[in-house]
Structure 1
């Protein structure tokens, strides 16, 4: 902090500031030049963005065959056959004289009604005595693999595997979300999509499972164990599965853990009423609702505090069942297993089936109580997924495309593989262009044309499908491209024509203080104007693009009649100031598209065509602009303007240090003057006082 003028009475701060303003003029020039370069850099980058967007979007779209091969499709009888066509379809005609069979999916119905059920309520509670229900539990386990291998022990709990109750084939095993088929005999482990579960519950794969993979399993067991930590207010506890079994053969057992160690001095048990939970002294400490699996503890039970932590383990059984569905599809055999808890609703089971990968839709008719399984795919397939030719003589033996297994499917839903009630699947059989053939689906593609058979017919007029070129749409695509090209040219040319106001230089800090925000904004817009006026790089890009458009395309697939854009009716405007914008003779272009669509396409997107030439020119121009102005992620040392900016920044730093030294010298000189004047004033005062006395 400097204070001057105490002795001289002069405004030293103002004097030094004005002296420094004069000295700072060269520094302001450096800052202004740097600002202009930064604005110019940004303008170049914006032009590069315009070129990039045109090349990436508009030129790329015109490289695609879909811009020129737009097909019109007509059907003489859309009630019988419809069709659509891709760009791969050639103009042609198809004649479908008969459709003797439409493709159908196999549909299986249960043998007898399951009755009227509430689809949203527990299915067990609506049919408790059904033979489908088992006593036990549905459990889950998962493990992340630490070492690559083929055999893994997920330490399945409460599992007893015996020949009398072997449900392993109904378990669900997934590795990183992919489902594996479970086999129960090691000899049946033949491919990498299977897993063998041995009698000890260990999982054995045909291939190595990579380290870091997650294996999960949903399995059935003798019982289920759950844990809960008891706090100061134990409250309620909801068991994970329900309804809970309880009788002499299905006990509910509690284990009490005190500070992590089993406490045998106390015990909990469910009273014979199946509702009350009592402690060792016979005092009721809570209740259990068997149907809902809800446990409620009261104030007489165990409570944790700061020194004692209680945890309960409950082992119980609940009602469950299982079933499997196998299908034969166009990709081969598929299989899915489903474990059903007694608490599941019919709707939840239907949802599981319909959302599975087995390719079957399950439906329940609440009016009659019937259930159907319909394969989502039409047609008849062999086990390897190949289509069955049902036109052979004699016809092949029909193999059901859907099969079921498991107690729930047989006992509850009433499906029986031994005597299935079904509507057979069939392939579509039809005659096209005089040839009888078949397809597994009513929608199929031939030579880029997608046909949809909608109705069977063997008599009456044939259905004619006509494929023609959509000249109107092709014209609109080319016109759209021309419009985008003109839009790009307009943006670049307007920058080249922009007026340059040289007397409006970037404002210095002192000048900004003298202007309002609005005045600064107006001044800056004029200072930025015309920085790319008549820029040679951009001008060269426009000139080269005009040559691309006027040049002849030498391609053997193009008729000489249409080897230039001008021969299609696309020319530059007469206004040479517009930068080479294009205009279209609509009648001439449409005629060319009608007469020779192949030549029109090749002229644009063929080898050495207009699109390729424009793309090369724009790419070269973008590279030149990038060398000059870089990109948003470039550092200054990698492009020419950036190097100039770096040089100016070094000069600015050097000059600022020089000014700082100069200002210090000025202040030192004025301070010395002040000190001399102060000394002189003191002496004068002393002499005046001396002579006065």
Structure 2
């Protein structure tokens, strides 16, 4: 805060401001120059973005499938349909004598699945442990456990870190990254698709597993122990598992008494005087412990239990003589629905289905084809599949078979009705004996569209670059200072800035040389053996520059001439665009343009950087740093100049004040 003019009566503050306006004029010029450099940098980066997008399009156009678009037709779509990939050979096929279509093996079980005989109902959601299931399942006791190991470094031997109660192959499931491995009990039986498992929980594979692979092991433990925390306010506790069979509990050092059978089991505690009190109940089906009201117990409740479980397996033969098989664990409270979901969600290659109307089940191979010439495609084991689901007396309603047909006079087979040959994918729809022709030919229209798209994108780039290099320069319109901006409306500021920014890249050597090089790239003939002399330049296939030189070399297309070239010699047209010879004259148009665009982008990046660049990484940024330092030094100098002005005016005020005091003294003396 400064207050001046008390003695002189002058507006010192305004006088200093006016003096500083003149002093700040060089600073305003510096800031205007800096603003122009920033605008120029932004314009360069805008051109860089345009070229980056164009280069991305050129990258796509380097691939031959853009010039080898194909179309396919079938003489009878009801019998054979076909699709074709870009780049497929242009050829014709004759399919006849389709004696068989590929089919997947389907097995129907031997009768109705009676899971709940109450009132004659067939309930697919009933618990399998229900005693009404007929025939009853021979349940085993144990706990189904699962453990996952992540492979830290490649190797063959891994440990679960704990013992397992059984190494029976039927009670172990080992998967690596979702692929099932057959469990063997002798290390001499190891193959690439098997795993040797020891009782101490060691797994040994035949070959190294890759780093970060995931090993998932399902196995059976004798029992499981959980420790639950009881507080005075506890009313119920939930165990992790359900469908429990044998259960023991300890509260502290006291052994609790549990009813041995039934779904709802009483939990009793023996007191010091020998009396027994009921403290709660256990629901063996759900694993829920409910405490009686008024029981205020605090401490750890240790629960040890096992479950009802059984196993079954389903497998299928695959290509190359391999077998895919998987063991499934079933708990007592599982239903037929949940069992079906487990099988269908696996990678075993088979699916289960239950039909509400017939009350029967089917097992169907997920892939068509005959992969086991000596027998069935699928196999299964386990009382659940054989007895309860009644597949023991099943029948094969549809055999797994290959499609048998003749193509171009050659009798052959395929495991699927869909097969691919030379880039053409055929679909056999029915059996027939007569001949059906399938022709794969050039899709000239698609190739034409791809070339037109390239020309349009090139013209779009040229238009934007040309507009920047030919912009008018309005020298009277310099960047606005803060004070000048305050005196204008937003619209006036916008119009002023538009003219001030104009022409910052006018006749820019980087952009103009890039345009010149691109025009040369397009006009130069491609001298390569793969390009016919009839179509070795863009002009010869109907692509020329416009007659208006002001457009900067935009391209125009003679559609009839271009289509004729594509029809007559598609290979030459392809080579014209993407020939990859060693010399510049041997390179196709796309490769030339790509190199020119890439070089121009590199020059722009050296000049103006990109949004990730620091100022020291490009030349305009270094200029900006220099300008910022000059501006900072000048602003420090202006502070000193302003202080000097105030010091001078303050000295003047003091001198006037002393003169006034002397005058008043003399007037009093002579009065």
- SS of the aligned residue for 1:312 comes to strand
**Does 2:162 align with 1:155?**
yes
Please point out which of 403, 408, 426 is paired with 1:428. Answer: 403
Partner of 1:328: 317
Q: 1:399 to 1:340 in 2, by over 3 A?
A: same
Corresponding residue for 1:172?
Answer: 173
Q: Is the 8 A contact 1:74 1:83 kept in 2?
A: yes
Matched, 1:124 2:129: yes
**Inter-partner Cα distance in structure 2 for 1:572 and 1:144:** 62
Contact residue 172 and residue 327 of structure 2 kept, 8 A: yes
CA gap of 1:323–1:629, structure 2 versus 1, over 3 A, is same
**Which residue does 2:27 correspond to in 1?**
27
Corresponding residue number in structure 1 for 2:12: 12
Q: Displacement, 1:227?
A: 3.0
Cα distance, 1:11 vs structure 2: 2.1
2-structure distance, mates of 1:228, 1:81: 66
Judge conservation of contact 1:167–1:220 (CA < 8 Å) in 2.
Answer: no
Which moved further from structure 2: 589-598 or 192-201? 192-201
* Structure 1 range deviating more: 315-324 or 117-126: 117-126
**1:224-254 superposed Cα distances (whole Å, 9 cap, x missing partner):** 3333222332122333333333xxxx3x211
In the alignment, what sits opposite 2:185?
184
Tell me how many residue pairs correspond in the alignment: 651
Contact 1:169/1:184 (8 A) holds in 2: no
Find the counterpart in structure 2 of residue 284 from structure 1. 278
Contact 2:107 2:394 in 1 (8 A): no
Q: Does 1:404 align with 2:403?
A: no
1:139-288 matched pairs, under 5 angstroms: 139-142=145-148, 150-156=157-163, 160-161=165-166, 167-174=168-175, 179-188=180-189, 190-191=190-191, 193-206=193-206, 216-245=216-245, 250=246, 252-256=247-251, 262-264=252-254, 267=256, 269-270=258-259, 274-281=264-271, 282-288=276-282
Once the two structures are TM-superposed, the CA of residue 42 in structure 1 deviates from its matched residue by 0.6
How far apart are the structure 2 equivalents of 1:597 and 1:199? 67
**Does the aligned pair in 2 maintain the 1:168–1:219 contact within 8 Å?**
no
Q: Distance in 2 between matches of 1:647 and 1:641?
A: 10
Residue matched to 1:301? 295
Could you tell me which of 410, 417, 429 is aligned with 1:454?
429
Contact 2:105 2:399 in 1 (8 A): yes
Give 1:381's aligned residue: 371
After superposition, the Cα gap between the structure-2 partners of 1:195 and 1:92, relative to the gap in structure 1 and judged at 3 Å, is closer
Aligned partners of 1:336 and 1:366: how far apart in 2?
27
Deviation, structure 1 residue 462: 0.3
Following the alignment from structure 1 to structure 2, what is the Cα–Cα distance between the partners of residues 218 and 640? 64
Which of 561, 583, 586 aligns to 1:588? It is 561
Structure 2 residue aligned with 1:307: none
Deviation at 1:34, TM superposition (A): 0.7
- Out of 593, 599, 607, the position equivalent to 2:572 is 599
Once the two structures are superposed, residues 32-76 of structure 1 have per-residue CA deviations (whole angstroms, 9 ceiling, x without a partner) of 10110110111011111111101112x123222222111121111
Change (3 A) 1:685 1:149: farther
Which piece of structure 1 moves more, 350-359 or 211-220?
Answer: 211-220
Structure 1 distance, partners of 2:657, 2:613, is: 59
Give the equivalent residue in structure 1 for 2:583.
none
**Contact kept? 1:241, 1:341, Cα under 8 Å:** no
Q: Distance in 1 between matches of 2:380 and 2:668?
A: 128
| Conserved? CA contact 1:150–1:207, under 8 Å | no
Gaps of at least 5 residues in structure 2 are 115-120, 581-586
CA–CA separation in structure 1 for the residues paired with 2:481 and 2:140: 89
Superposed CA deviations along residues 459-478 of structure 1, whole A, max 9, x for unmatched, are xx300011111111211111
Instruction: Flag the 1:2–1:587 CA change in 2: closer, same or farther, 3 A.
Output: same
Q: CA deviation at 1:410?
A: 2.4
Going from structure 1 to structure 2, the CA distance change for 1:681 and 1:87 (only over 3 Å counts) comes to: same
1:488 is paired with a residue of what secondary structure? helix
Query: Which moves more between the two structures, 73-82 or 642-651?
Result: 642-651
CA RMSD of superposed structures (Å): 2.7
Whole-angstrom distance in 1 between the partners of 2:624 and 2:234: 72
- Separation in structure 2 between the aligned mates of residue 143 and residue 103 of structure 1, nearest angstrom: 40
- Name the SS of the counterpart of 1:283 in structure 2: strand
Residues 323 and 338 in structure 1, CA contact (< 8 A), matched pair in contact too: yes
Alpha-carbon distance, 1:272 to partner? 6.9
TM, length-normalised to structure 1: 0.87
SS at structure 1 position matched to 2:270: coil
Against the structure 1 CA distance between its residues 183 and 112, is the aligned structure 2 distance closer, same or farther, given a 3 Å change threshold? farther
Aligned to 1:664: 643
Q: Is the 8 Å Cα contact of residues 69 and 87 (structure 2) preserved in structure 1?
A: no
> Does the C-alpha gap of structure 1 residues 672 and 320 become closer, same or farther in structure 2, counting only changes over 3 Å?
same
Distance 1:679 1:439 in 2: 117
Alignment CA distance shift 1:363-1:240 (3 Å): same
Partner of 2:335: 345
Residue 24 of structure 1: how far off its partner (Å):
0.9
Contact 1:253 1:269 in 2 (8 A): yes
Structure 1 residue 622 corresponds to structure 2 residue 598: no
The residue aligned with 1:3 is: 3
Q: Aligned residue for 1:440?
A: 415
**In 2, Cα distance between the equivalents of 1:425 and 1:39?**
72
* Structure-2 change in CA distance of 1:149 and 1:666 (3 Å): farther
Conserved 8 A contact 1:143-1:154: no
Corresponding position: 1:312 with 2:301? yes
> Using the alignment, how far apart are the partners of 2:454 and 2:314 within structure 1?
54
Deviation at 1:411, TM superposition (A): 2.9
Change (3 A) 1:481 1:142: closer
8 A contact 1:378–1:427 mirrored in 2: yes
Q: 1:234 touches 1:298 (CA, 8 Å); kept in 2? A: no
Q: Residues 233-279 of structure 1: CA distance to partner in whole angstroms, max 9, x if unpaired?
A: 2122333333333xxxx3x21122xxxxx333x73534877433222
Contact 2:80 2:427 in 1 (8 A): yes
CA contact (8 A) 1:636 1:646 kept: yes
1:365 aligns with 2:360: no
Query: Does the 8 Å CA contact 1:269/1:279 hold for their aligned counterparts?
Result: no
| CA–CA distance in structure 1, aligned partners of residues 595 and 260 of structure 2 | 87
- TM-fit CA distance, 1:504: 1.3
Shift of 1:640: 2.0
The superposition leaves residues 526-576 of structure 1 with CA deviations (integer Å, 9 ceiling, x where unpaired) of: 211221122232122112212221211111111111111111111111111
* Structure 1: tracts of 5 or more residues without a match: 257-261, 305-309, 383-396
CA distance in 2, matches of 1:502, 1:311: 87
Identify the residue that residue 518 of structure 2 maps to in structure 1. Answer: 545
Quote how far apart the aligned CAs of 1:204 are. 4.3
Q: Hey, what's the Cα distance between the residues in 2 that align with 1:650 and 1:321?
A: 81
Q: Which residue of 429, 438, 441 corresponds with 1:465?
A: 438
Please identify, of 127-136 and 641-650, the stretch whose mean Cα deviation from structure 2 is larger.
127-136
Summarize the Cα distance change of 1:270–1:445 in structure 2 as closer, same or farther, 3 Å threshold.
Answer: same
8 Å contact from structure 1 (residues 34, 645) kept in 2:
yes
Determine the C-alpha separation between the residues in 2 that align with 1:145 and 1:302.
47
